[in-house]
Amino acid sequence: MVQEHARELRDLTAVHVFYLSLLEKQIGHSIPLPVEVKQALDSQNDPSQLIQDLKFWLDLLDMAITPPMVRDALKRGHGPEAAAHALLRYFVTKASSRASDRDKTDCLVTYLFRTPGAGSPNTWERPEVECSYYHLSHAALAFESEIYRALGEVKFDSMAPEHVQLLREFEYFHQELEEFRHFEQITDSGIVQRVRELKQSLGKSFYHPDALAHVAAWNDVFGRKFDELFHDATRQIKTFAENVKREGGSILSRVDADITVKHLTEIETQEILSTEYQDAQDQFRRVSRYRKAVDHKRPPRPGQAASSTPAEVAAAATPAAPTPPAPPTAPAAPARAFAPPKAEPKQATEVLAAPSQAVQKAMHEGKIYSVKETIKNHVRSADSKLAHIVPVKRGNITLSAAEVEAFRVDYGNEKSFRADYANILMLLVSYHVRMLLEMDEYNQKSSSAYLWKPHADAMTYLVNSLERLSMEAEQIKTLARQRGLQDKATAVDASMEKVKKIAQNVSQTLQAASQSFSS
């Protein structure tokens, strides 16, 4: 007990030193310490009483320390790894419900995820921005081991089942993140606020190593994607403004409604990014609005309509209400009955080329694989009585006994009938779930100007590739019957029927969309 108190006292002292250095740097002079705090730091008396006095003092300092101050200090490399670990133990032990404490912990675990300690026995690779969720979850799992190491003997409660379920929402956030190609998609989707609400819903479970690991991995990938799209948006805005000025246009020329060229030139990218997100939301929305205005006013490509210079475009813009976006063009005749509607034509100076078919196929197959791994992890870790009920976004799906067994067994790279049989069942279930999720997302975003398109594309891929999967399933059924395994043939047939049923709904959804765009 004495050793435990001594260790906690060292942590609190390290936090005290860290906090004082931040405040003294902020206000430019030293902080006078209360007598009780001086005594707590210098006294050799009962450490339990000293700990209590220091906690009260740190509670007060916590009110003065903001999350951006912690974030910026960590970025500057303020303090050794030991200080960061002391801060982590302090926040996890405190398990405060205050938003500012949760945000400071958020900044801390993200920093630790991005800067692994040199002496750490645990290793993980920061996932690429365009990685699959499979890689993200593996990085989080490895980082969780590092959190446990850093916490040492700190005790915490087990996570409630409903909070474990909440953590699975990060997979769906990641799927949404994969579809973002422009900065305004982030601001329009409200994904930052929805993730923030999820973290708040975790309550004290937010401080559990499992939750902290998922949060850190998500923050890292999302932060880089956010910065990438934000820089791209501001670059396009400033390039447009520079072209207007270079070609003789006035900086007071209106680009759209109350947006002038002068407004575009006044954006300070680094200043906005250095501001805490909650305080910079208005600026982010403004950048999003400017990017939309610039995108709308870009001249057409050579060979289309007669082009105008940026200055002419800005000068011709009316000061009245914003020009409404052009309605999406009708799609060409679909290759199959369930072909999706075409996306709106890209703007003139769009720099992001559409991914190749090979890249798109790899992306879709990666999502199918990710769903398969998620279901497999659920079946193998859940209570045997509940393993057949798999939670998905906004609901559950129910697996048959044969499907549960297929996800539970592990044949590795074995080349055999039983391995092929288990794999085809897992693929059929994964296709079923992917179609269900994409159709739900499409229906949710069908009124959006662009957010529906990736889901329509995904549904088309799934339905188009279903023929190949059906042929593989038929081969397994034939082999099963030849071997007298009628129960396995029946199981494959039952899984295939479920997929065909949802595929029919997907096709009808796409047909309806195609007809609405044609009319």
User: What are the tens digits of pLDDT across the range 397-418?
Assistant: 899 999 999 999 988 778 889 9
Query: How many separate domains does the chain show?
Result: 2
Q: How confident is the model at residue 271 (pLDDT cuts 50, 70, 90)?
A: low
In-domain check, residue 18:
no
How big is the CA angle at 279 (ends 17 and 192), to the nearest 5 degrees?
A: 100
> In this structure, are 164 and 246 located in the same domain?
yes
pLDDT tens column, 171-209: 888 888 888 888 888 888 888 889 999 999 999 999 999
pLDDT tens column, 90-136: 999 999 999 999 999 999 999 999 988 777 777 888 888 888 888 88
> In this structure, are 114 and 251 located in the same domain?
yes
**Distances in Å between the alpha carbon of 80 and those of 8, 72, 74, 83, 213?**
18, 15, 10, 5, 21
| Residue 226 · residue 249 · CB < 8 Å | no
Q: How confident is the model at residue 74 (pLDDT cuts 50, 70, 90)?
A: confident
Which pLDDT score is estimated for 230? 82
Q: What is the mean pLDDT of residues 292-319?
A: 46
Which pLDDT score is estimated for 251? 58
Q: What is the mean pLDDT of residues 327-346?
A: 37
**Containing structural domain, residue 205:** 97-324
Which pLDDT score is estimated for 272? 56
Of 10-24, 238-252, 290-304, the poorest mean pLDDT is in: 290-304
> In this structure, are 117 and 211 located in the same domain?
yes
Which pLDDT score is estimated for 274? 59
Distance CA 435, CA 431 (A): 6
Specify whether the backbone of 317 is left (phi greater than 0), alpha (psi in -120 to 50) or beta: beta
Residues 6+ apart with CB under 8 A from 29: none
> In this structure, are 478 and 377 located in the same domain?
yes
Q: How confident is the model at residue 305 (pLDDT cuts 50, 70, 90)?
A: very low
> In this structure, are 314 and 401 located in the same domain?
no
Last residue of a domain, one of 324, 347, 373: 324
The mean pLDDT of the chain is 78
Which pLDDT score is estimated for 282? 62
Which pLDDT score is estimated for 345? 38
> In this structure, are 404 and 315 located in the same domain?
no
Which pLDDT score is estimated for 153? 83
Distance CA 362, CA 239 (A): 34
In-domain check, residue 28:
no
In-domain check, residue 505:
yes
Share of the chain above pLDDT 90, in %: 32
Which pLDDT score is estimated for 32? 86
In-domain check, residue 196:
yes
In-domain check, residue 330:
no
DSSP-H helix ranges across 65-132: 67-75, 81-94, 99-114
| Residue 111 · residue 185 · CB < 8 Å | no
Of 44-58, 146-160, 305-319, 471-485, the poorest mean pLDDT is in: 305-319
Q: What is the mean pLDDT of residues 27-44?
A: 79
| Residue 429 · residue 495 · CB < 8 Å | yes
Of 139-153, 169-183, 205-219, 353-367, the poorest mean pLDDT is in: 353-367
Of 52-56, 253-257, 321-325, 441-445, the poorest mean pLDDT is in: 321-325
In-domain check, residue 339:
no
Range among 151-160, 214-223, 318-327 rated most confident: 214-223
